[in-house]
Amino acid sequence: MNSYLYARPHWFARLLLWRGWRLLVRWVPMVVLANVLQGTLAPSMRIAGALPDMPLLILTYLALWTNPSVSALAGFTTGLLSASMIDQQVGSLILSRTLGAWLVALLPMVIAPRRVASILLASILLIGVCQGLLYLFAPSVGGLTFWGTTLRSMVYNSVLAVLAYGLFRRWLPPELSEED
């Protein structure tokens, strides 16, 4: 066949006609709001040295309800915004969040993502992977102190993930998870 008969649209036209704009318009404000709340509200919610990680809570839902590409992009955005607010090395935080979100996005191949137990498992896995990779890439604190804080944070954020399940389900409905 003659390839000149089939015109490929310009990249800008493909961008404008992309079907994922609805999903993008929903998750970007959630990630930005979570990072703002992390800087303003989260320090006052500290319990027993555990700080809630609101961007990771959002990332848990996005990773379970979207495809791995979208969750990796959300992980990158979350890592970039989080690193800009705290005193961390930017690359290690971005990479840990991106890889963690991508790995959790593969969970729906094994588990049903709409169950509360799945949210609990995904939040524990995401926090463990992200914090483990962050410690691997940029160790900043002694091992026992870091892992003790991570374990407390894992429990606290998992409880928050289960409590916030209904709210996130309303904001990111299941029909949006099927789009690319």
What is the residue-wise DSSP string for 57-119? HHHHHHHHHS-HHHHHHHHHHHHHHHHHHTTS-HHHHHHHHHHHHHHHHTGGGTS-TTSHHHH
Predicted TM-score (pTM) of the model is 0.78
Residue 74 or residue 26, greater confidence:
74
The span from the CA of 172 to the CA of 143, in Å, is 37
- % residues pLDDT > 70 (the chain): 86
81 close to 55: Cβ distance less than 8 angstroms: yes
For the record, the structure tokens of 64 come out as: 């379970």
Q: Is 43 exposed, middle or buried (0-12, 13-18, 19+ CB in 10 A)?
A: exposed
Higher pLDDT, 165 or 175: 165
The tens digit of pLDDT for each residue in 120-131 reads 899 999 998 988
Sign of CA dihedral 25, 69, 156, 114: positive
User: Which residues pair with residue 47 across a beta bridge?
Assistant: 50
pLDDT digits (tens, 9 = 90+) for 89-145: 778 888 999 999 999 999 888 888 778 888 889 999 999 898 888 888 877 767 788
User: What are the structure tokens assigned to 97, written together?
Assistant: 């969040």
H or E segment to which residue 125 belongs: helix 116-137
Does the domain made of 20-178 have the CATH classification 3.90.25.10? no
